[in-house]
């Protein structure tokens, strides 16, 4: 891109059809002469319209990672039915991993925090404690 080229915000607005007709004609006139800007437009169009397989793969991997204990628990439960000889062992493993998953997920953590905050009378406000102490003395 050289100094005469339109800024990225103008070219991106052209690509998104957000320019006025007169601005659009101006940009088109420039694009006819400037190969850099045409290539930039084409590259941008390609990048936006192609699915990033690596990114998708990373997302799936992170989903599996966060729900790992759930899947292990599910597999253990399935195995317990397949190998009836070790039914109890697999079922125990399934329950353990299932509990671990339940404890780990965000919703449970939030619920525990809310429950602790709502518990009545366990912790007193420190300012109240000092007032009580003064009253006794």
Partner 1 sequence: METELLLKRCINKNRNAWKEFTRLYTALIRKSVVYKLRNLGVFLPKIDMDDIVQEILLSIWEKDKLSRIKDIKSLQAWLVMISINMTLNYCRKHVFRHAKDLESLDAYISDNDEARSTLKDFLSGNTVPAGETASFNELCQVINSIISGLKARDQLVIKLNIYDGAKQKDIAKIMNLPISTVGTVLSRAKKELKRQLEIKWDF
**Residues at the interface with partner 1 (CB under 8 A):** 1-2, 7-13, 15-19, 25, 28-29, 31-36, 38-49, 52, 55
Return phi, psi of residue 20, to 5°.
Answer: -75, 160
Distance from C-alpha of 69 to C-alpha of 67, rounded to nearest angstrom: 6
Query: Roughly how many angstroms between the first and final C-alpha of the chain, as a whole number?
Result: 80
Residue 63 Cβ vs partner 1, minimum distance, rounded to whole Å: 15
Q: Which one, 35 or 136, has the nearer CB to partner 1?
A: 35
Distance from C-alpha of 133 to C-alpha of 52, rounded to nearest angstrom: 65
Q: Which one, 41 or 68, has the nearer CB to partner 1?
A: 41
Q: Which one, 44 or 67, has the nearer CB to partner 1?
A: 44
Residue 32 Cβ vs partner 1, minimum distance, rounded to whole Å: 5
Q: Which one, 12 or 67, has the nearer CB to partner 1?
A: 12
Residue 33 Cβ vs partner 1, minimum distance, rounded to whole Å: 7
Contact status, residue 80 vs residue 86, Cβ threshold 8 Å = yes
Contacts of 71 (CB under 8 A, 6+ apart): 64
Residue 125 Cβ vs partner 1, minimum distance, rounded to whole Å: 29
């Amino acid at each position: 891109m050289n100094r005469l080229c339109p800024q990225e915000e103008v070219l991106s607005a052209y690509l998104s059809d957000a320019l006025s007709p007169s601005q659009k004609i101006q940009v088109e006139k420039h694009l006819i002469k400037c190969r850099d800007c045409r290539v930039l437009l084409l590259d941008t169009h390609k990048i936006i319209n192609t699915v990033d397989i690596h990114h998708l793969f990373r997302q799936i991997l992170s989903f599996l990672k966060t729900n790992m204990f759930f899947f292990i628990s599910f597999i253990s439960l399935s195995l317990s039915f397949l190998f009836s000889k070790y039914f109890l062992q697999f079922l125990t493993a399934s329950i353990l991993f299932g509990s671990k998953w339940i404890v780990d997920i965000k919703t449970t953590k939030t619920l525990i925090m809310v429950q602790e905050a709502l518990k009545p009378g366990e912790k007193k406000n420190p300012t109240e404690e000092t007032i009580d102490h003064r009253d006794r003395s």
